[in-house]
């Protein structure tokens, strides 16, 4: 695979890599006869991003440049950190870079990015290939009942009212309004936290179609990342979503050269704490089945992803990790001094054993006077004469300073 990206589009590619870096730690690249695909997935497998660059995005494009056979396109996985080092400052790359050449040789273990800058400067980055495989998620965006097209500025200004500590946002879509509010955990005291709610009217959006009123909850971190990507490119954002528990798809595209899909898993909102009315503060158990389990859940990638999308709140399945219920208890016997010989010592040991067996009968700690006498025993003897040590300097006076 070999392609050339003109200087004006290098800035778009750089911003794309930075946006994908806020989703996952690995970048999947796949070359097809008519486009190049960039994909990533977050660690929890609840957020997926895919960006498609068409042939018109490049000044030169050949997906099988290093092969004479008409085989499938090449695919590879690289570290996201390495990709970020290639596009350190995407804001000014269009003013510095004249052309970017991307090469992927199937016989090589490196992905090559060659930046041809002004004044004849050439920067070449060799990125190690971690694996030769592609990653794909199954989701639906065309047959969903709810579709909203919004200027990114509207949603960005709405999220500006939320607290930095909020990690999830609840979206309630009705035919009359679109409500955004911060998600509140049922374990928290609802009277001591800040509740934020923004109501937007359909007239504020470019298009607003709600075929089925629903309420969904998704992560706020990835939502802010895709909004920042749309804001940087000055493009509108399309929302495609269904009912609770189904993934929500956010689309950013310019119609001809590239198209970006951001898929976020949704979870069920707690009706008791997420209702629009703030008067009801009764704590009820969250209806999300993924939270009802006390055991932690470890994600894994299933083979049939479409079945996993029918689950509750994640794009992929989960397996339970059993809890470790073993508890180590140390019983330390009380401190006692023996004063009456071996018979009394045996009695003390028996008392210690009874104390261990009977946890409700715990003797008190020794008094400070007893402890002092045991340490400074000589000072409390009746025959002790302080004058006997007169003249012996035990600790010299310190200097006047």
**Alpha-carbon distance values, 9 to 13, 57, 340, 358 (Å):** 6, 7, 93, 77
Closest CA to 57 of 119, 11, 117: 11
Residue given tokens 């009874």 in the structure block: 354
**Alpha-carbon distance values, 55 to 32, 33, 37, 50 (Å):** 10, 9, 11, 16
pTM of the model: 0.66
For residues 295 and 322, is the Cβ–Cβ distance under 8 A? yes
* pLDDT at site 61: 92
* pLDDT at site 63: 82
* pLDDT at site 106: 72
* pLDDT at site 69: 60
* pLDDT at site 56: 93
Mean pLDDT per 10-residue segment, the chain (401 residues): 90 93 93 92 91 94 71 83 89 85 84 91 92 82 91 90 86 93 73 84 94 92 92 93 91 91 82 41 35 38 40 43 42 40 47 50 51 58 63 62 51
DSSP state of 45: S
Domains delineated in the chain: 2-128 (3.70.10.10), 146-278+285-320 (3.70.10.10)
For residues 270 and 277, is the Cβ–Cβ distance under 8 A? no
For residues 279 and 254, is the Cβ–Cβ distance under 8 A? no
């Amino acid at each position: 695979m070999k392609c050339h990206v003109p200087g004006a589009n290098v800035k778009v590619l750089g911003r794309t890599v930075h946006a994908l870096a806020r989703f996952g730690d690995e970048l999947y690249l796949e070359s097809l006869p008519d486009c190049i695909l960039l994909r990533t997935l977050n660690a929890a497998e609840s957020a997926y991003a895919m960006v498609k660059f068409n042939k018109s995005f490049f000044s030169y494009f050949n997906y099988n440049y290093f092969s004479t056979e008409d085989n499938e396109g090449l695919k590879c996985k690289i570290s996201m950190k390495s990709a970020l080092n290639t596009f350190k400052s995407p804001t000014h790359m269009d003013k510095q870079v004249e052309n970017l050449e991307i090469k992927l040789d199937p016989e090589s273990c490196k992905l090559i990015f060659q930046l041809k800058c002004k004044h004849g400067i050439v920067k070449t980055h060799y990125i190690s290939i971690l694996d030769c495989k592609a990653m794909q998620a199954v989701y639906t965006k065309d047959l969903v009942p709810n579709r909203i097209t919004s200027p990114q500025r509207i949603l960005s200004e709405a999220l500006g009212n939320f607290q930095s500590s909020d990690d999830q946002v609840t979206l309630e879509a009705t035919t009359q309004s679109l409500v955004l509010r911060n998600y509140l955990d049922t374990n928290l005291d609802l009277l001591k936290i800040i509740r934020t709610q923004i109501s937007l009217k359909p007239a504020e959006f470019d298009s607003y179609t709600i075929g089925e009123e629903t309420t969904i909850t998704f992560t706020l971190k990835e939502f802010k990342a895709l909004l920042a990507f749309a804001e940087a490119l000055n493009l509108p954002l399309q929302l495609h979503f269904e009912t609770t528990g189904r993934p929500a798809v956010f689309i950013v595209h310019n119609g001809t050269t590239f198209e970006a899909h951001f898929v976020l898993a949704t979870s069920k909102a707690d009706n008791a704490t997420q209702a629009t009315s703030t008067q009801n503060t009764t704590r009820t158990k969250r209806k999300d089945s993924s939270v009802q389990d006390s055991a932690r859940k470890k994600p894994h990638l299933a083979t049939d992803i479409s079945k996993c999308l029918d689950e509750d709140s994640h794009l992929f399945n989960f397996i339970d990790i059993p809890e470790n219920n073993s508890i180590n208890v140390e019983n330390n016997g009380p401190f006692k001094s023996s004063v009456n010989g071996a018979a009394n010592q045996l009695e003390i040991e028996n008392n210690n054993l009874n104390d261990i067996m009977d946890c409700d009968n715990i003797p008190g700690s020794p008094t400070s006077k007893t402890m002092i006498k045991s340490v400074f025993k000589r000072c409390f003897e009746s025959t002790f004469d302080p004058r006997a040590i007169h003249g012996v300097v035990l600790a010299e006076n310190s200097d006047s300073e």
